[in-house]
Structures are given as structure tokens and as C-alpha cells.
Amino acid sequence: MSTPQMMLIKPRDRYGASLIFSILGLFALMMYILFKLQSSEPAPSHKNSFIVPPVTHKPIYLMTSKPSALLYAKSGHSLEEYTAKIKQFAKLIHTLGYTTKMIPSSELSSLPNDAILFIVDTPAMTQKTKNAVKSFVQNGGNLFFNFTAGYSDENGKYLGSTFVHALTGLSLNKRLGFVTFKDEKGNGSLFVTPKLLSPLSLYLPEGKNLFVVLYDKVPLYDTPATLQPDIMATSFSQATPPVGIDAAKSIRQQEAGMAWHGYYGKGKWVYTAIPSYSFTDNREQEDDFKKLLSGIIAYLAKPVSAKIYPFIDNKGAIFISEDTEYKFTNFERFADLAKEYRFPVTAFIVANLAQKPEHKAMMQRIAQNPYVEFASHSTSHKQIVGKSEAYIINETAGSKKILDKFASSPIQGFRPPREELNDLMRKHLAQSGFTYILGATEEHLYPEFDKKEPNLLIIPRHGTDDFSYLVNLDWDQDQIVRQMIREANFVTALNGIYTLSIHTHLFAYSTNINIMKKFFHYLSQHPEFKIIGGKALYQKVRLAKHLSQKLEQKGKQYIMTVTNDNDTAVNDLYIQLFKNPKAKITSGSVNNKNITVKINNSQSNVFLNTVPAKSTVKIYFTLENMKG
């Protein structure tokens, strides 16, 4: 475990671990700094490309700490920097349309019971302050805190994660502790991904990769069984946790949490391990971090939040496909395995190979396999981008014309050779009846409709493919299977789509098919994994896009309005509720007698057997013991 003493402040550092270990001094500066911190500012007029109405008109409080201010000054920074840091975060909150008030730690007892309190980058606190914070949340307050909050006392004595643990149950990971994350150029950076089914990602529905700027080491935590991370540290591909530069071993999934939400007594909290400047210093994703902060505030402000399951009836999904090309006859091995385990798979087939006389009988046999969906991998498997329009039409529409003759129903999927795609290809794919594309690695976990061809769904590829396993990594079969299992668990834990793409000449070849057999066996033993074909995936994402829900409160009664703007009914719909786990739903009803509603208190979800096309359904329910 790396020790906090290693967290030295460098010229670019703003507030490293020396904040935690510096000896308390400069007492004469105390009153001056405290004076600078006492301010109350309204939200200024602003221009903001991300605009969402504020969910509360009450002020958001930011706590100031004399011990933290003095500890910061003692570390060699200017007297104004601690003040500027708090005000910078307040300014960020202002841009979202909220007002803020600074409150010294000595006055926390004056806070309204349902107030929202932000404790930003505050490493040093007295025990009295910590008790006041806990009492505030215990009695119904709403708290955001971050980074090394309360890691030291007022004298700079290191206490570790005791304060964080007391409120959340999180404990600093003993194996890794504080970790440095850097890019290939040595700059501090980290990718993090919000879960799709989290109240914090209310305005980030696509599971987008966020690039976090870092000047400091960040703490890694052990997540208790009672919590699930809302945001996780990821690699760029989002299929695995990242590798810390100074970590002796790879970071495990249970160590990759970066933000959590939960309940303490009657109140709520959100904690994140990242410093406050990470919300502001990535200018390219400024709006994304504003969306994240807006989701945090909305969660803290509302007694209950709700989100529709990303895949209608599932929290996450697995998409397994084969590029059916070289060693074409191995296609049958892949198809037989899918039938044995009854898993729906998708085959992206090179059309010219499919229509060869020696392959036609096999294609006809596999077409009768209900677990194999035919799709296109172009006509010839040659480069398409940069070619003439006539050539592009032949490789796209032409391949569909060939494969439709074999398929039991018209094909809808396309996988471009070399993962190359341009506007002309998109145009002719859409015009010829394709509805989805398996693309390259994207910066989001959830399939998205193309911005220029809105009827084309782009499925992001997140799993390591078999070429990388067998050629680049040269792993044995058991190593590969273990990594596939890790990736499937990690991506679906984020409620995304895990995509495993194999080839006829690699994983489907010879004894390599045993890799797939072992992986399929693992999936068969874990029914929580939802394996889905391309057409079904397209349908679920299309339906989800035109579904919405709104939750209103009237006393103890809640009214959930579910709107289906689709031309078809949506069946087996699940909606997750984010509420105090001690609160119980004691009654429930629906305004349509033809709809069955089931409410699961232990899972905190609502199930509707159907939502008719072009309709609005209202569900009425009551929550008892809402405040724990």
C-alpha cells in the first residue's frame, strides 16, 4: 500500500497529501482566512450550453474549515488559494442556476434539516465538526463530500478514512491506498464512467467516458456489500479498471469505485474520491461534468428518484458476434455452440463467401438455427471507405441482397471491414434497410443512434476481441476465459453492453472453440447475464429512447407517470427507485386496469407488464418510514 507521505505537492499540485500531514501553525492568520471565507453569493447571469431547470430554489451550502485553511496555508500555498478553491466550486454550482452560501463549520447546527451541504476538499476537521456533520445527515440533511475529507484532525494528525467510513461504510483499500494515474505523456489523468442505472447519471444516459484531470494521488476504497459504486475508474475501452502507475498489481473491480450514494439515518450522502478541480479542469468535457454535478444535486434534493432500466427488462446486456470470413466452415462450430447453450448470437457474414457453392448447404442449415442471426460483414471484406459510390452500394446494399436469400428474415446488422465508416456508407446502409452497426471502441457504454442517420443504431465495441487475445497477448485459454469473465462482469456492472467479437479463423478455429465453450458455460451458470441478438438489441434501445417517466410527490403519496411515445407497446418494463432502503411501499395502484404493476421493496423496483403504444400510465404508491 502506498503511504500518504508519498503524496508530495509539486509545483502544479493544488493540495496534495501534505495538507494532511503538515503541522498546524500560522495561528495569527486564522481570523484573516476565516474572514475571507465568509461570503454569500447569488447565482450570476451566465451563458451555459448545458441548461436544465434547477430542482430546488433553496441555497446550497458550502462548508468552510479553519483547520483545513491553515493546513493549506502551511503547505506553502498563498493565503488566497483555499478561499479561491471553495469559491471556484461555488461558481460551478452557480452556472447550473443555483445559489450558494458559505457556512463555517462552527455553525453547522444552524442548517435547516433538509439542507444540501457541500464539503469540498476539506482534509482537516475537528472531531466536533465531524460529529456535527454526522448529526446533520442523521437528522435528514443531504451531504456531498469528496477526496480526503476528514483524513486528519485539526492538528494535522493523519486519521485515514475514518470519517468517510463512519458515514458511508467505505474503507481505504489496504493493498493500494492512494494511487497515481497518468497518461502515456506522464500527465495526471484518469477515465471514469458513471453507471447508467444511477441517480447521479440522470443527465448522462449514455454511459459516457469522462476524462478526469488529476494533480494528486486519489484514494481507492473497498466497497462494502451494502453499496454499489455510481462511478467507476475505467480503461479507455471501459471494459476493465485502469492500471495505476504506482500500483504493484492491477486494480480489481471491487477497488475501482470513484463515487457512491447512500443513506445515513434520515439523510442522504454522495461521496467521490476525486478532487474538486477535476470537475472544472477538463475544458473539452465541461458540459459533461456539469451534467454529473446536476445529477448529484438532483439526487440530494429529491426524496425519491427513479430511472427506467437501460434495456427495458435488464440492467445490462451481452452481445456476442462472429466475423464470418476466413476459414468459413468454422461458422458451423460457432452456430452449434449457440444452439447447445440456447444463446442468441449474431454472425456478420462476408456475402461472397456465403454464396460459394461449397458453403450454400451449410448456410441453409444454419439459417434454421433459431439462435443465430445473420448480418453482413460486407460483400467482399475489402476496404470500402474512399471508394466510389457504386462500389459502396455493392458492398452494403449488395451484401444485404445476397444474405437475405439465406436468412429466415431480412438482415438488419452490418459490421464494416476494418471498423471504418463514413457518411456515404451510413447513407446507403440506412437506405437499404440496415438498422444497426457493430462499430469500433466508443467513449460510451450504451448503443446510440447515429446523429446523421437517426435510424441507424451504433453498437459500441468494448470487449477485447480474439485477435488481441491470440496474437497480441498470446495468452493460454484459461487466461483468456478469465479475462472475458472479468470484462463481462465489469461492463454489465456499469449497466452497459459487453460486446464479444470473434472470428471464424481465430476463436472458432480448431480447439480454440473451447474458449467459447468455457465462457458460454460460465454465462449459463449466471442467469443475471442477459445475452441478446442484434435485432432484439436494436428494438430495446429504440423503445427505451421513446420512454420516459416522471415522479411527483403529494404528501406521502407518489405519482409516477410513465409515457410511451412508441408506435408499439412496451412489455416487461422495469423502473428502479432510489429511496431510503428502510422506506417501504405500503400501497400501490395504476390508472389502467389492464396493466399489472408489481412493486418489489427488496429490489426497490417497479414492474409493468405492458405500457400500451402512445399512452401515459400513472402509478400511485405510498412510502412509509421514508426518513428511516
Q: Of 595, 616, 604, nearest to 549 (Cα)? A: 616
Q: Give the residue with greater pLDDT, 463 vs 613.
A: 613
Identify the CATH number of the domain defined by range 4-31+56-308: 3.40.50.880
pLDDT above 80 for 599: yes
* For residues 495-516, average pLDDT: 96
pLDDT band at 50 (very low <50, low <70, confident <90, very high): low
pLDDT band at 541 (very low <50, low <70, confident <90, very high): very high
Q: What is the pLDDT of residues 576-587, one digit of tens each?
A: 999 998 888 887
Q: Of 530, 578, 460, nearest to 315 (Cα)? A: 530
Share of the chain above pLDDT 70, in %: 89
For residue 232, the surrounding DSSP H or E stretch is strand 231-234
CA dihedral 597→603→605→608, nearest 10 degrees, is -30
pLDDT above 50 for 8: no
Q: How many angstroms separate the Cα of 598 from the Cα of each of 117, 590, 601?
A: 36, 10, 10
Q: What is the mean pLDDT of the chain?
A: 89
Look at residue 626 in the predicted model and tell me its pLDDT.
Answer: 57
Q: HSE (CB half, 13 Å, CA atoms) of 323?
A: 26
pLDDT above 50 for 31: no
Identify the CATH number of the domain defined by range 546-624: 2.60.40.1170
Q: What is the pLDDT of residues 281-320, one digit of tens each?
A: 999 999 999 999 999 999 999 999 999 999 999 999 999 9
Q: Of 66, 135, 144, 146, nearest to 105 (Cα)? A: 66
Residue 307 φ/ψ region, left for φ over 0, alpha for ψ in the -120 to 50 degree band, beta for the rest: beta
Structural domain spans, the chain: 4-31+56-308, 317-540, 546-624
Q: How many angstroms separate the Cα of 119 from the Cα of each of 92, 274, 330?
A: 14, 13, 59
Look at residue 4 in the predicted model and tell me its pLDDT.
Answer: 33
Look at residue 247 in the predicted model and tell me its pLDDT.
Answer: 53
pLDDT above 60 for 24: no
pTM: 0.90
Q: What is the pLDDT of residues 405-460, one digit of tens each?
A: 999 999 999 999 999 999 999 999 999 999 999 998 888 999 999 999 999 999 99
Contacts of 602 (CB under 8 A, 6+ apart): none
pLDDT above 50 for 609: yes
Q: Of 557, 547, 544, nearest to 616 (Cα)? A: 547
pLDDT band at 73 (very low <50, low <70, confident <90, very high): confident
Question: What's the angle, vertex CA 431, arms to CA 396 and CA 401, rounded to 5?
Answer: 45
Contact 376, 400 (CB under 8 A): yes
Q: What is the pLDDT of residues 249-281, one digit of tens each?
A: 679 999 999 999 999 999 999 999 999 999 999
Look at residue 628 in the predicted model and tell me its pLDDT.
Answer: 54
DSSP label at 54? -
* For residues 195-211, average pLDDT: 94
Identify the CATH number of the domain defined by range 317-540: 3.20.20.370
pLDDT above 90 for 126: yes
The C-alpha cell that represents 482 in the structure block: 478469465
How far apart CA 578 and CA 240 sit, in angstroms, is 26
Q: HSE (CB half, 13 Å, CA atoms) of 441?
A: 10
Contact 415, 389 (CB under 8 A): no
Which of 144-153, 180-189, 252-261, 437-446 has the weakest average pLDDT?
Answer: 180-189
DSSP label at 456? -
